[in-house]
Structure 1
Amino acid sequence: MSEPDETFYTEERWQNWLDRVEEESLDPEDEDSARLLLNLQDDAAIAVAKVVSAHDDGRLDEEAAVEEIAGIRDVVLADVHFENEEKAMLIDGVQTSLVCVFYAAEEYVVGGPVEEATVAEYVDAAVDAEANEDVDAALGYLVQAGTRIIDGDELPMEAVEDLEYGLVSEWVNGLDSLQSAMSDPEVVEEED
């Protein structure tokens, strides 16, 4: 298979979002600020969903799909330097949420959806693992949940609405973006 014809994500695209975040006066309690951060997150998740879809459609082989996902991950998870510490923390939260998305997509491309449990059971297992301070296991469970979400399973809201704030809730937030991206992989328009 040759190089993919489409570009899934670019550093320039990510930088455009970061520039917008830097320009805006962000207040996490404000709906417009929250929407900007969610759009930034959803945009990266949509790029990942498009790579997975291209792989599922046979337009990208496994190696090319994994490389594309890794490329998006490298762009999105690169260190971001903002003068404003609060904005830096908000971007860090978005990056944290997307970690699970990247690993779930890679896992799906390489091994397909896991079959052992439901999305809700994986979320519960992740919560228990986090409570036992086993962060790696928590991430692993949510990556497995992510493969099921990519395969079309739903992230049940009742399984996530009572999550305490922490890594699991951040990662589940990313999986929610992934679910939206898989069901409607339309590009989030960057407003001028």
Structure 2
Amino acid sequence: MPEHAMNQVPPYEFYTQKRWENWLGRARESGFQIKESEEAGKESAVFVNMVDDVILSCLKVTARFEKALLSKEKALKILEEIRDIVLSEVEPISEDIDLMIDSVQTSLMGALVAFECYFMGNYEEGSNIEELIIIAIEAEALDDLELALDYTAQCGAIVLKGQSLPEEVMAELPDGIVAEWLDGIDSISAAMVGSDSYKEFDEDDGEDA
């Protein structure tokens, strides 16, 4: 297709501001309160779904990147646009909902750096995930969050290559930001196992030039 013709095709939007705001609206309407009850589980589902929706959008980018339908630069640019939407400051709703949205954004940070690391190729495919997690936790204990995030990102990139997070290590994670980042990566793993429909979508809409 000639370049001028391809430029006339409206770009596919992997994720939008409106979509994020719709999720924030659902969170507001949930009336969520932190409590131990069956009802709380139903109310909290919206926050899990918020994370999953963003991750599925990123997996659609990944699928196109892997098929060489998107360049590394284009994939990173789309990822940056998604990050700008979902990690932007959210207007306060209520103390409990604000805490949950903060947790959502922290988990998404872990997921987004994993996708970035994967697109950049800044990881060793044969690395031991368990060792990377241990180093990340040790870095957090030393308040070196940049290093902790880097090793968490490598874990996520390896998960995107098909490895699994070690269940025993995940079950024994100390509370902290690395644990929340790894929650985001765990959500990537669950989404990849749950369905691979993200790999086949609108293949002929021709917008990735």
Could you say whether these structures have the same fold, taking a TM-score greater than 0.5 normalized by the shorter chain as the test?
yes
- RMSD, matched Cα: 2.0
Residues 76-87 of structure 1 mapped to structure 2, 5 A cutoff: 76-87=86-97
Q: Which runs of 4+ in 1 moved over 3 A?
A: 1-5
Does residue 12 (structure 1) correspond to residue 18 (structure 2)? The answer is yes
Amino acid of the structure 1 residue aligned with 2:66: D
Residues 60-99 of structure 1 mapped to structure 2, 5 A cutoff: 60-99=70-109
Could you tell me whether the CA contact under 8 Å between 1:98 and 1:171 is conserved in 2? Answer: yes
Name the structure 2 match of 1:146. 156
How far off its partner does 1:27 sit?
3.0
Cα distance, 1:134–1:95 mapped onto 2, change above 3 Å:
same
Amino acid of the structure 2 residue aligned with 1:23: E
Provide the C-alpha distance between the structure 1 equivalents of 2:159 and 2:100, rounded to a whole number of angstroms.
25
Name the structure 1 match of 2:203. none
Residues 12-161 of structure 1 mapped to structure 2, 5 A cutoff: 12-28=18-34, 29=36, 30-111=40-121, 113-115=123-125, 117-161=127-171
3-state DSSP of counterpart to 2:61:
helix
Provide the C-alpha distance between the structure 2 equivalents of 1:186 and 1:39, rounded to a whole number of angstroms.
17
Provide the C-alpha distance between the structure 1 equivalents of 2:153 and 2:122, rounded to a whole number of angstroms.
12
Amino acid of the structure 2 residue aligned with 1:149: V
Deviations 1:127-154 (A, max 9, x none): 1111222211111111000110011110
Provide the C-alpha distance between the structure 1 equivalents of 2:49 and 2:121, rounded to a whole number of angstroms.
29
TM-score (norm 1): 0.89
Cα distance, 1:186–1:84 mapped onto 2, change above 3 Å:
farther
Q: What is the number of residues matched between the two proteins?
A: 187
When Rg is computed on C-alpha atoms for both structures, the one with the higher figure is 2
Cα distance, 1:177–1:120 mapped onto 2, change above 3 Å:
same
Q: Which shows bigger deviation, 125-134 or 36-45?
A: 125-134
Amino acid of the structure 1 residue aligned with 2:17: E
Amino acid of the structure 2 residue aligned with 1:89: L
How far off its partner does 1:58 sit?
1.5
3-state DSSP of counterpart to 2:100:
helix
Q: Which runs of 5+ in 2 are unaligned?
A: 199-209
Amino acid of the structure 1 residue aligned with 2:28: E
Name the structure 2 match of 1:190. none
TM-score (norm 2): 0.82
3-state DSSP of counterpart to 1:14:
helix
Provide the C-alpha distance between the structure 2 equivalents of 1:121 and 1:140, rounded to a whole number of angstroms.
13
Q: Which runs of 5+ in 1 are unaligned?
A: 188-192
